[in-house]
Structure 1
Amino acid sequence: MRTVLIADRGAVAARVLRTLQRMGLRSVVVYSEADRDLPYVRQADEAYCIGPGPAVQSYLNEGALFDVMRRSRAEAVHPGYGFLSENAGFARSVEGAGLTFIGPSPHWIDAMGHKTRARTLMAEHGMPMCRSSDVVGEDPRDIEAAGAAVGYPVLVKPAGGGGGIGMVAAQDATSLVEAVARARALAQRSFGNGDVYLEQLFERPRHIEFQILADRHGNARHLFERDCSVQSVL
Structure 2
Amino acid sequence: AVCSKADENALYLQYADAHVCIGPAEASESYLNIPSIISAAEITDIEAIHPGYGFLAEDSHFAEVCESSNIVFVGPSSGVMKKMGDKIQARKIAIENKIRVIPGSDSTIENQQHALKVAHELGYPVLIKASFGGGGRGMRVAHNDISLVNSLAIAQREAKAAFKDPSIYIEKYIEPSRHIEVQIVADKYGNMVHLGERDCTIQRRHQKLLEE
* TM-score normalised over the length of structure 2: 0.92
Q: 2:132 touches 2:165 (CA, 8 Å); kept in 1?
A: yes
Secondary structure at 1:229 match in 2: coil
Partner of 2:135: 163
Unaligned runs of 5+ in 2: 203-208
Give the Cα–Cα distance (whole angstroms) in 2 for the partners of residues 155 and 118 of structure 1.
Answer: 17
Q: Secondary structure at the match of 1:206?
A: coil
Are residues 1:135 and 2:111 paired?
no
Total equivalences in the alignment: 204
* Separation in 2, partners of 1:127, 1:102: 27
> Which residue is 1:209 aligned to?
181
Matches within 5 A, 1:1-234: 29-133=1-105, 134-137=107-110, 139-230=111-202, 232=210
Letter in 2 for 1:105: S
> Structure 1: how far apart are the matches of 2:6 and 2:174?
36
Q: Secondary structure at the match of 2:178?
A: coil
The Cα of 1:51 is off from its aligned counterpart by: 1.2
- Tell me how far apart the structure 1 counterparts of residues 103 and 183 of structure 2 sit (CA, whole Å): 23
Deviation of the 1:80 alpha carbon: 0.8
Structure 1 stretches (4+) deviating beyond 6 angstroms? Answer: none
Determine helix, strand or coil for the equivalent of 2:52. coil
- Identity percentage of aligned residues: 39
Query: What is the rounded CA distance, in whole Å, between the counterparts of 2:2 and 2:185 in structure 1?
Result: 27
Give the counterpart letter for 2:43 in structure 1. R
What amino acid maps onto 2:156 in structure 1? R
Superposed CA deviations along residues 69-91 of structure 1, whole A, max 9, x for unmatched, are 11111111110111111111110
Cα distance in 2 for residues equivalent to 1:63 and 1:53: 16
- 8 Å contact kept, 2:67–2:73: yes
Q: Is the 8 A contact 2:115 2:170 kept in 1?
A: no
Q: Is the 8 A contact 2:5 2:25 kept in 1?
A: yes
SS in 1 for 2:141: strand
Per the alignment, in what secondary structure is the counterpart of residue 46 of structure 1? coil
Q: Report the Cα distance in structure 2 between the residues aligned to 1:152 and 1:55, rounded to whole angstroms.
A: 33
SS at match of 1:121: helix
CA contact (8 A) 1:32 1:58 kept: yes
Gaps of 5+ in 1: 1-28
Q: Distance in 1 between matches of 2:118 and 2:210?
A: 34
Does the 8 Å contact 2:4/2:30 carry over to 1?
yes
Deviations, residues 161-216 of structure 1 (Å, cap 9, x unaligned): 11222210000112212211111111111111211110000122100112222211
**CA distance in 1: counterparts of 2:35 and 2:78, whole angstroms:** 19
CA contact (8 A) 2:127 2:170 kept: yes
Superposition RMSD on alpha carbons, in Å?
Answer: 1.3
